[in-house]
Amino acid sequence: PRQSRVSHERNGMRVSFEFFPPKSDEMERTLWESIERLAPLRPHFVSVTYGAGGSTRERTHATVKRILDATPLTPAAHLTCVAATRDEVDDVVRSYVVAGVRHIVALRGDPVGGLGTAYAPHPGGYLNGADLVGGIKRLAAVEHADIEVSVSAYPERHPESPSDAVDLDMLAAKVDAGASRAITQFFFDNDLYFRYLDRVRARGITIPIVPGILPVQNFKQTRVFAERAGASIPSWLADRFAGLDDDPATRKLIAAAVAAEQVFDLVDRGVTEFHFYTMNRADLVYAVCHLLGLRPVASPASAGAAATAEAAA
């Protein structure tokens, strides 16, 4: 089986990396060290999340702008419509268009009240992910800007979805509104992804459904995220991290092994595109990308960009 990977390695692996906007100077340094480390792998794009309830509006914009100005990378800005009017959301979209951003990851967002509370659209706001995609596409047309829109997808279905069918209806609506790529919520059991993919294709949805891979930097935190996201933690995964709470060095080795195993299995089953939830850390993602056959590409632009970023810090 290892032999079969060789052809994949030469066969156009495409990766993207997700970051979150930093809250402190120290987090800012960590983020930029990670971006500089990962940039030479030439990701297809790097995305920057939008904090719950739009709480990072300015910081997301600033991070995206800096990626655009100071690196050779293509940024994608996450945007949610929770707790905001259409005008407010449209203003954010326009500001991205003006800044030169051409890729938005459009999401509804989580209810303001947090886990367990019902989602209520803002009275003057977009209703859901699909409505937001439509709004962005209409605005892009008005501004004569070609904006690529990616959306979310849920192999284990969204926690609020009453059924797989309703969940797929939402994905179909987002595609009808103009989304051209879906990125999945993280998962650890690849069969869940492939069964979902079968359902998506059977529903007539043809856009790429890019697996979102979460290297487990911190198992305890992953458990909390998974609970919130409606993603399951297989017992074998818990077993692998059991007893290592006070042993970060071993945890990291296990995390690399787990992510490598997951990604290799996806590759063996035909996947060539991956989105990595980096948690703003480069090392595990860099290692897994190396295993995928990605090698740093030295470019004068990125060297210059690193210097510029340093100067801007």
Q: CA neighbours within 13 Å on the CB side: how many for 97?
A: 20
Q: How many CB atoms lie within 10 A of CB 113?
A: 11
CB of 3 to ligand FAD, least distance (A): 33
- In order of 29, 35, 44, 66, 200, the CA distances from 310 in angstroms are 9, 12, 23, 11, 44
DSSP 202-215: HTT--S-EEPEE--
Q: How many CB atoms lie within 10 A of CB 29?
A: 12
Q: Is residue 222 involved in binding ligand FAD (CB under 6 A)?
A: no
Per this entry, what is the length of the chain? 313
Number of chain positions touching ligand FAD (CB under 6 A): 22
Of 9, 18, 88, 156, catalytic: 18
Interface map 50-69 toward ligand FAD (x if CB under 6 A): x-x-----------------
- In order of 38, 49, 73, 260, 275, the CA distances from 219 in angstroms are 23, 21, 30, 16, 19
Interface map 97-136 toward ligand FAD (x if CB under 6 A): --------x-xxxx-----------------xx-------
Select from 23-31, 45-53, 89-97, 196-204 the region that touches ligand FAD (CB under 6 A): 45-53
- Per CB under 6 A, which of residues 127..186 are in contact with ligand FAD? 128-129, 152, 158, 160-161, 166-167, 170, 183, 185
CB of 131 to ligand FAD, least distance (A): 8
Does the annotation count 143 as an active-site position?
A: no
CB of 1 to ligand FAD, least distance (A): 29
Nearer to ligand FAD, 194 or 225 (CB): 225
Are the CB atoms for 255 and 285 separated by under 8 Å? no
Q: What is the token pair recorded at 196?
A: 């979902």
Q: Where on the chain is the footprint of ligand FAD (CB under 6 A)?
A: 49-50, 52, 78, 80, 105, 107-110, 128-129, 152, 158, 160-161, 166-167, 170, 183, 185, 212
**Which residues are identified as catalytic?**
18
